[in-house]
Amino acid sequence: MSETEVIPGKDFIRRIIEEDVKEGKNQGRVVTRFPPEPNGFLHIGHAKSICLNFGIAEEYKSVCHLRFDDTDPTKEDIKYEKAIEEDVHWLGFDWQGKLFHASDYFEKMFEFACDLIKGQKAYVCALSEEEIREYRGTVTQAGKISPFAKQSVDENLKLFQRMRKGEFPNGKYVLRARIDMASPNMKMRDPLLYRIRHAHHYRTGDGWCIYPMYDYAHPISDALEGITHSICTLEFENNRELYDWVLDSISAPFPTRPHQYEFARLDLQQTVMSKRKLLQLVEGKYVNGWDDPRLPTLAGLRRRGCTPDAIRKFCELVGVAKANSSVEMAQFEFCLRDDLNTKAPRVMAVLRPLKVIIDNYEGEEELDASYWPHDIPKTGSRPITFSREIYIEQEDFLENPPKDFFRLAPGKEVRLRYGYCITCTSVEKSPTGEILAIHCTYDPQTRSGNNPVGRKVKGTIHWVSSNSLKGEVRLFNPLLLDTASDDFLTQVNPHSLVVLNDCRLEKSLEKAKGGERFQFERQGYFFVDPIDSKPGAPVFNRIVTLKDSWAKKK
Ligand code: ATP
Ligand code: MG
């Protein structure tokens, strides 16, 4: 296909696949895989790869394998494997029973390695790690051939068998491909295929003490499973030559000859996106576990209340490109708001309450408040109680306001959402000058949006009645102060979690259940924490703030 021929709506990977299918490659089959290493929880970067691989499989009515790349027993664990499965399902994808492990193929990989040795394409090398690095040369300088490269096939086979039997300590020998120490591609300078690791593997137990390297295990796993398109991120561009070398050097008949394609990884600003760094934050107790809502892990985003739909839309919006770039957090937040706008009913909650006493009001009455704004085609409302005492947000009152402050201040009038207009008449203070409550009068003519005669009220604020419930609300700020810093642990924001214990929530929220989402008017979208909430005492996590608040803040 020519470079200029563009299939509308398709990224470059999908265009390649479309072309392959048209040409009848792999009998027109498309099989992809998502190959996480079970050494941590998945993050939003992985979601991009999941959406791409599983998305393509869906489009071609095919399947995407979930394959655990469990080749490093020192870092991997079954608990990560279970978490990864849960996350992929939560995003809305399924591997249709095609769940595999690189370790399923250890025996085959070993046999292929013996074949490579017999074909003089691999040798056992006793150089130390440091020597191997020295021998490799540099980008501008060819490497030196290892003195062990000339070892006989028999000697290599014998040593490799003994490596497997556990006769040598870690690091004593490695198996290397014999390719080209002068190759301009450093990855091709006799790369390592196997190393010795005396470690317990969470699946194979103590069955193995030699483990294949990613560059060897990955192409073989792909080929054995009949993968057609092996899609990975750009850092692996230089590994592609080795991927092809491995498959071309093994004479076994594979069901397919897969090919590797690289796309740009997702790099989201203001956060960390590497399992290694996430692990440091979790183990160092900088956060409360892998599902801490401040983390960009899928478990954290789920606990925070983000929807899988929003994450999938975000991945779609970011797109699949060939050049790396970083994406602003604002783009993710846009997707969250866009998704929640039509899903989350509107309610009122006051995060930092200030008591208001309406001196000319007696008794109480019920006002009808819609759950939805006019532009959302959904119906439903709940009663809210108007009473002599109500609560408003502390920041909605200023004793000495600037000229352009349109909320409450002494002598100023403001509209209460769904209710009356009130005017502040006096301020009640403690002996130390702290504001305890404010006194107001209300205008009975102004109920339900009726405008006061002869006056213009510019501000509308949210409020709750004295029958509201007390509740806990958790707000989240960026986890890191400076993401450019090398030592990211010194940059953890001490205010990344703000817990407000004295919030007042409108009465209807008494029935809120774990897992439900609401918009607190003017404050953002919130999620009822499914773990910490108790019946009648919901705990709310703020998913995202509102960009466009209907109340004039100034
Ligand atoms: P990390 O550094 O976070 O551990 P990784 O690449 O080592 O990332 P793997 O478990 O090996 O993690 O990744 C599984 C798949 O997810 C790989 O195909 C990888 O390319 C892809 N992936 C990982 N991070 C990203 C990202 N930020 N954007 C897109 N794809 C990613
Ligand atoms: Mg990895």
What pLDDT was estimated at residue 4? 41
Number of residues assigned to the chain: 554
- The ligand 1 atom nearest the CA atom of 53: 18
Q: How far is the CA of 53 from the centre of ligand 2 (A)?
A: 17
Cα separation, 142 vs 180, in Å, equals 9
pLDDT, one tens digit per residue, over 269-328 is 888 989 999 999 999 999 999 999 999 999 999 999 999 999 999 999 999 999 888 999
356, two tokens: 């208001």
The catalytic position among 75, 98, 172, 265 is 265
What pLDDT was estimated at residue 8? 59
- The ligand 1 atom nearest the CA atom of 268: 27
Mean pLDDT, rounded, for 425-432: 97
Per-state percent for the chain, helix, strand, coil, to nearest 5: 30, 25, 45
Beta carbon of 48 within 6 Å of any ligand 1 atom: yes
Beta carbon of 275 within 6 Å of any ligand 1 atom: yes
Beta carbon of 264 within 6 Å of any ligand 1 atom: no
Q: Kindly list the domain boundaries of the chain, sorted by start residue.
A: 107-212, 268-340, 346-552
Beta carbon of 341 within 6 Å of any ligand 1 atom: no
pLDDT, one tens digit per residue, over 510-539 is 999 999 999 999 999 999 999 999 998 999
Ligand nearest to the CA of 327: 1
Beta carbon of 310 within 6 Å of any ligand 1 atom: no
380, two tokens: 């439903």
Q: Identify whether 472 is a catalytic site residue.
A: no
**Position 35 pLDDT exceeds 90:** yes
Q: In this structure, which residues have their CB less than 5 angstroms from ion ligand 2?
A: 37
pTM, two decimal places: 0.94
**Position 115 pLDDT exceeds 50:** yes
Residue that wins the pLDDT comparison between 457 and 132: 132
Nearest residue (by CA) to ligand 1, atom 3, is 274
Q: Identify whether 37 is a catalytic site residue.
A: yes
For residue 344, give the nearest of 305, 289, 402, 386 by alpha carbon: 305
Ligand nearest to the CA of 88: 1
- The ligand 1 atom nearest the CA atom of 48: 29
Cα separation, 180 vs 191, in Å, equals 9
Query: Which residue's entry shows tokens 């478990």?
Result: 299
The class of domain 346-552 in CATH terms is mainly beta
pLDDT, one tens digit per residue, over 461-514 is 999 999 999 999 999 999 998 877 778 899 999 999 999 999 999 999 999 999
**Position 549 pLDDT exceeds 50:** no
DSSP calls for 420-441: -EEEEEEEEE-TTS-EEEEEEE
| pLDDT category of residue 449 using cuts at 50, 70 and 90 | low
**C-alpha dist (Å) from residue 198 to 73, 158, 524:** 9, 19, 52
Contact (Cβ atoms closer than 8 angstroms) between residue 525 and residue 305: yes
What pLDDT was estimated at residue 485? 74
Within a 10 A sphere around the Cβ of 297, how many other Cβ atoms? 28
Q: How far is the CA of 48 from the centre of ligand 1 (A)?
A: 9
Q: Identify whether 265 is a catalytic site residue.
A: yes
To which CATH superfamily is domain 268-340 assigned?
Glutamyl-trna Synthetase; Domain 2 (1.10.1160.10)
What pLDDT was estimated at residue 1? 41
Nearest residue (by CA) to ligand 1, atom 26, is 45
What pLDDT was estimated at residue 553? 40
The class of domain 107-212 in CATH terms is alpha beta
| pLDDT category of residue 5 using cuts at 50, 70 and 90 | very low
Residue that wins the pLDDT comparison between 367 and 449: 367
